[in-house]
Structure 1
Amino acid sequence: MPDSPKIPPQHQDRMPAMEAPMEPAPDFAPRHPGTGKLAGKVALITGGDSGIGRAISVLFAREGAQLGIAYLDEHDDAAETKRLVEAEGSKAVAIPGDLGRKEQCVHAVEKTLEAFGRLDILINHAAQQYMDADFTELDEATLRRSFDSNVMSYVFCTQAALPHLPQGGSIICTSSVNAYKGNAALIAYSATRGASLAFARAMAQLLTPRGIRVNAVAPGPVWTPFIPGTFPAEKVEDFGSHVPMGRPGQPWEIATAYLFLASDDGSYYSGQCLHPNGGVIVNA
């Protein structure tokens, strides 16, 4: 079982938060040599600059994919992820902008096509998360920001990508364990992740007959910039210790689920959701 380094108290006053200041640094590095599972493929990964998104980007690059990395404004994180992708011998284009706006989703797809000439895989992963101190005080702006980032961007990016995805293409949407069990401190976020899961399942019904598989991944507690960006410092300490495995997941452990679903290994999967969550049992 991977080591579980102690997580000290920490907080960042921004969302999305940044990966560089986190202590300890999230572990994104792939564990195995690439075998060409995505050779010749092009993937657009939203939220691909940090956390799970960075781990997916680096793993996909190791397996031969070229990447469009869409993100909001975490330019330093995105530049580092691009460097890591290139260190794997692949190429990436970093695409900043607010994916809650349809025109930016169209732009992200266009920039990926401009750079690489095709699009085979769409990873709808970009998201924001806010702690709900008091549900009755949940303000409209935060609620709309959450749904724009976590739901509308998935719809808009899928609309923009769909004309370019070939038969055999793959779409993967990030959900969360909170879509299944709920979270009283993250009501808006839980609702958006339920929506992204339902969206993936509905799109699977629409697109599987066309040879495009659509699936979801529902991570549990994972050590990413989400955590210091969402919670006060004292709640970050020993994050993830409540799950059966007694530790948070690391981004590399989650990225493998996306590789499985994006590659031919997952060729008989559509409308499904994988649950890398440290042993929490939920209704799938």
Structure 2
Amino acid sequence: MSKGIAYYRFFLKGEAKYRINFISYLLSGFIQLMAILFIWKLVYANSASGVIEGLNYEEIILYTIISTIATQFMLLDNDFQVAGDIQEGNLSYELVRPVSYITKLFFQGLARSTTSILLVGIPAIIGVVAYISIHESFGVALSRCLLFIVIISFSVGLMFCVNLLFGYSAFYLNYSWGFLLFKGTFIQLLSGALFPLAMLPSPLREIFLKTPFQYMTYFPTMVFLGKLSTQEIMTNLVMEISWLIVFILLCLAFWRHAIKNITINGG
């Protein structure tokens, strides 16, 4: 753990150096958020009741903001790191280091997401808590916020494992970047980051809700909004932890298989 924390501090300092890149990311994220909010405004302007699948306009704004917060926790980028290390031949050096390669990847990804969480996630969480406190109570807002953080912690682990599995594709493909880009868009769709899964047609919604990807954005966001009962929260939390265990086992199995058949380009 001490070595992992040392890695975390090292990579966090590295993230702080590239300020222009980070500012550019913030600006692009802000423009994207404004575009989404504008689209929702148009959608709800043409709604007779002002409510779509149980969400009114104020709630869909909150959903968009909270899902953006959840996204900041998921900026691990370890899939591209794994693929790059394999295809550039760097993995051979990583395997002989005294620190686990997976541990290094985890803390490197955590450092990457920390800057986004501090500058975007935390201020947005404070704003959401303040809004909910005005309309309901501070106790309710705080309890939902804490539960959101607990759930999103498991979601980060789930995202890390999913990224690892997709990153391992570089063991079997000569060029995996396009595949990883497709994965990013695919998960955005299935996780509810683009829009609430509740707005999908019923058959398609049921399929999406049975995938592990909904636990990365949709589930924690709906908990923060207060749209799920205690029973639904507990059931989904158990399912999320179960999926996390399954993906951890899959990561271990694929790693052991791939490492025995590794061919490093340039290594």
Q: What TM-score does the superposition give when structure 1 sets the normalisation length?
A: 0.31
Greater RCO, CA 8 A, separation 6+: 2
Judging by fraction of residues, say which structure has more helix: 2
